[in-house]
Amino acid sequence: MALVEYELRGHVAVLTLNRPEKRNALNDAMLEELEQAAKRASSEAKAAIICGHGKHFCAGLDLEEQSGKSVMQGIEGSRMWHRVFSYIQRGKIPYFSALHGAVIGGGLELASVSHIRIAETNTFFAMPEGQRGIFVGGGGSVNLTRLIGVSRMSDLMLTGRVYNAAEAERAGIVNYLVDTDNLMDKAMELAERAAENAPLSNYAIINGLQRIHDSGYDEGLFFESMIASLTQSTPEATERMRAFVEKRAARIEAPTKAPTNSPTGGGNDER
């Protein structure tokens, strides 16, 4: 039985964690299959979704495998997590996490390296490493802290705080909240939309934004100028811009429902 199932739906690869009897807890074998699935997606898809079978997305690290490991074995295991997650985070295609049930520990670290996170309203999030006597080892101290800040990360780890889906959205973990029956539909809708973008633009977005954010002010602006020049000089970008100028491209319209803090309604102005 595959620990990570793989399916290609059009231009979107769907990677499904398949260890529901363990709440999709991550072990070394599962990570190896996740890495192979991500490499396959990189070669044949334009976007990817990570989801989980059963009642939960992922309950974190399989602690049964960790007992008895030496310090060096622990370091090597952590570095394997870093390698696999980095391939997802800084690869060729954007990743969308479809989250439900428990998103805990290593599961939250996995979600944090996705580029967009969609969650059902019954999803809950935790980082209980402090209570387990351990520390994050899958990049959470960098990637999740980048999303929510040091203060919130410290709160999760020190106190065992559990976020519900609405709290996770406010904290910056979740991009989209959906009803229980709409999770995969929404994830597929967003992934297909991203798959329609120019591949070089997607690559620049998922690799450039993070590096620019981690750079100094002047360096960031320089990187931005270089990336902007490279992307707009391609034949595909030229055709896409021409289609917009000639009004052959789809218009950008205001949302049908205005935000609650907006004094005005929607509209149909072209941008």
Q: Which residues are catalytic?
A: 109, 129
Task: Determine contact, residues 101/107, Cβ cutoff 8 Å.
Answer: no
What is the rounded distance in angstroms from the CA atom of residue 163 to the CA atom of residue 111? 14
Rounded Cα distance, 23 and 6, in Å: 18
C-beta atoms surrounding 270 within 10 Å: 10
**Number of CB atoms found within 10 A of residue 3's CB:** 19
**Residue 176 region, left (φ>0) first, then alpha (ψ -120 to 50), else beta?**
beta
Distances (CA, A) of 43 to 99, 103, 138: 25, 28, 24
The CA distance from 12 to 34, in Å, is: 16
What amino acid occupies position 266? Answer: G
Query: From CA 84, how far away is CA 38, in angstroms rounded?
Result: 8
Helices (H) and strands (E) in the chain, counts: 11, 9
User: Residue 62 contacts by C-beta under 8 Å, 6 or more apart in sequence?
Assistant: 22, 25, 26, 27, 30
